Amino acid sequence: MQSAIQPVGVALAFATIMFLSMKKMKLSKVMFIASVIMALTSGLKALDSISVVWESWKDRTTLELAAAVLAIGLFSTVMKELGYLERTVDGLQDLLGNAKAAIMTVPALMGTMPVLGGAALSAPLVDRLGDSLGLSPDTKAAANLVFRHGMFFCFPFSSGLILTSQITGFTVTELIGRLLPMSVAMWVAGYFTFLRTSRSHREIAAGAAEPREKQPSMARPRLAGLVTFARYGSPLLTALLLGLLAKWPLWLALLAGTGLCLILGTLERRPLPSPGTLYRGANLEQVAAMFWIMAFKGFVTISPVFPSLVSKGMAKGVSPALMALVMPLLFGYGSASPLSTVGVLVPILLPHALTSAAKMAMISVIYSAGFVSYFASPLHLCQVLTCQYFKVDITSVYKLYWPIIASLGGVIGVYYLMLMRLL
Confidence bin at 48 (pLDDT 50/70/90): very high
337-to-152, 328, 367, 378, 402 alpha-carbon distances in Å? 13, 10, 11, 12, 21
CA trace torsion 28, 33, 35, 41 (10° rounding): 180
User: What pLDDT does 202 receive?
Assistant: 53
Cα 131 from chain centre: 21
Confidence of residue 282 (pLDDT cuts 50, 70, 90): confident
Question: What is the pLDDT at residue 215?
Answer: 43
Instruction: Note the pLDDT of residue 283.
Output: 76
Predicted confidence at residue 114, as pLDDT, reads 52
Share of the chain above pLDDT 70, in %: 89
Among 410, 401, 408, residue whose Cα is nearest residue 153:
408
Whether the Cβ atoms of residue 332 and residue 370 lie closer than 8 Å to each other: yes
Residue 1 has pLDDT above 60, yes or no: no
Task: Write the pLDDT tens digit of every residue in 209-244.
Answer: 444 444 444 444 788 888 988 999 899 889 878 877
> In Å, what is the CA distance from 280 to each residue of 273, 275, 276, 384?
11, 9, 6, 19
Q: Reply yes or no on whether the pLDDT at 413 is more than 90.
A: yes
List the one residue out of 407, 411, 400, 415 whose CA is nearest residue 194.
Answer: 400
- State residue 94's pLDDT score: 83
> What is the pLDDT of the chain when averaged over all its residues?
83
* Residue pLDDT, tens place only, 250-266: 789 889 999 999 999 99
Is the pLDDT reported for residue 305 higher than 70?
yes
Q: What percent of the chain is predicted at pLDDT more than 90?
A: 32
